[in-house]
Structure 1
């Protein structure tokens, strides 16, 4: 008869400490994450703990301990054998945020390895893997060996994170999603950074968004999250910086999957919307600087075709056809300007919700996305329009979806007098480095 294992702590004890605004020790946090991962701590107990953390927070040491415990629950990748610097980017997500698509090949074209482990969309924020799966034949799932070989040969890869990276986070994230604790900054920070640190990159740039279409609306909360994650990366030996970027207005002129791929290819061809180019170049500059490449003309590789060559090679390596036609929707609906004037307001979140209702996003993790669904914007704030001009076009495979999508954007855009327009001061509000 086997002797039952004697646990060093119990869940109720730890919950009560955090409930009463106490501080959990390193050993308590390590045990909690391990015990939850192996099923000793029940879901209802961890639900109580996540709510206690949501309400009472954690200090920097606690967040670091939780992040490292989540990393320890799985494997860590090692790219040192590549014998070149590695750099990665993580975005907290937004409406029209397709930056990973042109960014990875741009940075890779300078000889820096970019192991971009990406995810899928949920709700109004799109997922990088969903966008790329618009390309016929492209596959998201690579073995660690395939990923390493592609980085060695082509310097870049965008693929799904394996289940072996921080499995504790996968379990905890699913719980947070159904217990109204997703927005807890200690839990967001440890979730993101556990995967990114386990990924093994030398340096990391964080694109932390604020505003209507962002995960966190308030810039102060976004700044707190950015500082927390930069500190976590730094403490773990990863060179980490963050840019705070404005997500009150959709990024670029496309929202969806296939149409965002089209726009990304335009950027790689030396064109595309100014805000997408600006943010892509800013993030690439950060990544290259941290990889030791200073004073390079980053945008030049968009103009001279090197970034496009990198894109085509990496897409092909993952089974995709970079020349294949992308999906197009069978139905479209154009919304026209009802008066002359300036587009003075265009709110991101309603347009993200509208694209989701058209089929571009998913309500549940197991839902399929419609790659052809989405929105093309024909005007951005500050543009003059005349009555009858197209403002935006909705795309769907079922015309019945248009009504609810139009409901979502009602009041989300305003045509008015130019004197009432308040231009955005800056797309990039702040750069945050280790303290």
Structure 2
């Protein structure tokens, strides 16, 4: 291992055999954490070649169980988001695409820090179970074309251990390590094609378009080498997505989208991602046709019906679809007012995510319990005109005194007399 650390420290390329040896020995505890930490730091500073990062993904992938979904007919398509504030897209997207005949075996994650997790949001639906067995997961995708679950403990165990190590060694922000981590789990889930939603902006992991592009290219490159057809969209996270941040609030917004209502940005992005998935799943010959199919499925209620089916299949109460008030409700609602008139020219998206975390809606630590009812409903977004005293956002809380959090939310808004240029929702597409 010392030889391999030295080789990577000096900027050389590790071979497939070396990477496989390293991962095998790390998982079997023959390599200690301190040596793997040194290797991660060497990768952080010197990067990896395209083939090298793909081989790291494959080595981590084969460190545990790999799902075989061959018995499910059709091209299985999944979607992965790099995470953002108010990003609830997976929830309306999965039933929408499944309603059009594409099998969706979706393995999702939990939230940590200022970004929310799909599994936490779904668990705000009474009874919803994300911890299905491998057989239950496969059976649901085969029978009804969709399931959204957490990864089993036996899937890519090397990644789980390395991820925990990166968290405490300052090596999280490494594009080869991020890309190989994501792809080891996604390929292990047995999917045939992948759509990536790579967020860029002040509420995203990647703050600049340059970094987001590098990550998107790395993900698509690994997909190509794994024979997993992939496409990546760089999407805007310079403000929260939609008007809700918080678990049950985002489920209610997702239901609105499936009713062909809800905020335009969430609806537009859901349809654009659905179109990419339909083309990859060979259910549409072009993106234009696919967009029309997705719009029809929202309009005629097929997608909504499929969401009810998903909830029922996974032990939840489908009545929440017709009555979102059955979702957890916060005790207090506190308005945050605009201190001056003008236009919203900037939103500190990260700060709003942290505010929801401080209300109890997000985790500062991995094992923290969540309050599924709390969050924010935004009344003003980028480019919106405001008068002094207008409500910028409504805090949904289960504590009476949220004055410090209200001040934080107010400060997250920049109001100026000039009309701002609002960035496009989709920056670019990488194939």
Q: Cα 1:408–1:389, aligned 2, differ >3 Å: closer, same or farther?
A: closer
- What is the SS of the residue equivalent to 2:107? strand
The runs of at least 4 aligned residues of structure 1 exceeding 4 Å deviation read: none
Unaligned 5+ residue runs, structure 2? 321-325
Give the aligned partner of residue 365 of structure 2: 364
Is the 8 Å Cα contact of residues 357 and 404 (structure 1) preserved in structure 2? Answer: no
Q: Distance in 2 between matches of 1:40 and 1:403?
A: 52
- What is the SS of the residue equivalent to 1:350? helix
- What is the SS of the residue equivalent to 1:267? helix
Q: 1:234 aligns with which of 224, 230, 233?
A: 224
- Cα deviation, residue 388, structure 1: 2.6
1:54 aligns with 2:52: no
Aligned pair count reads 420
Q: Distance in 1 between matches of 2:386 and 2:316?
A: 39
Q: Deviations over 1:308-362 (max 9, x none)?
A: 0000001111110022401111122211223333222222111111111111100
Is the 8 Å Cα contact of residues 258 and 298 (structure 2) preserved in structure 1? Answer: yes
Q: Distance in 2 between matches of 1:197 and 1:424?
A: 36
Q: Distance in 2 between matches of 1:304 and 1:206?
A: 27
Q: Distance in 1 between matches of 2:207 and 2:13?
A: 28
Q: Deviations over 1:266-314 (max 9, x none)?
A: 0000100000011100100000001112223111111110000000001
Unaligned 5+ residue runs, structure 1? 1-10
Q: 2:181 aligns with which of 191, 197, 200?
A: 191
1:327 aligns with 2:328: yes
- Cα deviation, residue 155, structure 1: 0.7
1:376 aligns with 2:372: no
Give the aligned partner of residue 430 of structure 1: 428
Mean alpha-carbon deviation: is it higher for 309-318 or for 149-158? 149-158
Is the 8 Å Cα contact of residues 336 and 410 (structure 2) preserved in structure 1? Answer: no
- Cα deviation, residue 247, structure 1: 0.4
Counterparts of residues 41-120 of structure 1 (less than 5 Å): 41-120=31-110
Q: 2:300 aligns with which of 304, 312, 333?
A: 304
- Cα deviation, residue 24, structure 1: 1.2
Mean alpha-carbon deviation: is it higher for 200-209 or for 14-23? 14-23
- What is the SS of the residue equivalent to 2:411? coil
1:415 aligns with 2:415: yes
The alignment yields a C-alpha RMSD, in angstroms, of: 1.2
Q: Distance in 2 between matches of 1:416 and 1:222?
A: 29
- Cα deviation, residue 407, structure 1: 4.5
- What is the SS of the residue equivalent to 1:107? helix
Q: Deviations over 1:124-174 (max 9, x none)?
A: 000000001001000110011111111122111111111121111011101
Q: Distance in 2 between matches of 1:384 and 1:117?
A: 40
1:269 aligns with 2:233: no
- Cα deviation, residue 385, structure 1: 2.5
Q: Normalized against structure 2, the TM-score is what?
A: 0.95
Is the 8 Å Cα contact of residues 337 and 389 (structure 1) preserved in structure 2? Answer: yes
Is the 8 Å Cα contact of residues 24 and 62 (structure 1) preserved in structure 2? Answer: yes
Is the 8 Å Cα contact of residues 123 and 361 (structure 1) preserved in structure 2? Answer: yes
